[in-house]
């Protein structure tokens, strides 16, 4: 998450980030996000519908979605900086 936070800040709005919490209460998720200093938006997926829609079966999973809603890529597991840079460039020319 710190890597995503760093990318969120460096992209200056050219790419949007959204965290999806699928396994915690909203208060536990918010506490964790505050502890790791995440400032990009995050929402709770209490009923698991978003997880099903985007096939978020292994956590963490990062999904790259175009502004038109098309899935441009997916990464299951922890991201490394080079992998994230390459994925953002490929998906969004960022």
Question: Using an 8 Å Cβ cutoff, are 91 and 81 in contact?
Answer: no
pLDDT along the chain (94 residues), means of 10: 94 92 85 94 90 86 91 92 92 81
Tokens standing for residue 52? 């099903």
Give the model's pLDDT for residue 48.
87
3-class secondary-structure state, position 26: helix
At the topology level, CATH places domain 2-87 in Glutaredoxin (3.40.30)
Give the model's pLDDT for residue 20.
92
Say how many residues make up the chain.
94
């Amino acid at each position: 998450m710190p890597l995503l936070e760093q990318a969120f800040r460096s992209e200056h709005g050219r790419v949007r980030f959204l965290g999806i919490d699928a396994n915690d209460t909203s208060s536990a998720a918010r506490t964790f996000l505050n502890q790791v200093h995440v400032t990009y938006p995050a929402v709770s997926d209490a009923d698991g519908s978003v997880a099903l829609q985007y096939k978020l079966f292994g956590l963490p999973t990062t999904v790259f979605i175009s502004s038109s809603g098309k899935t441009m890529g997916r990464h299951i597991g922890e991201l490394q900086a080079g992998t994230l840079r390459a994925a953002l460039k490929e998906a969004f020319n960022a």
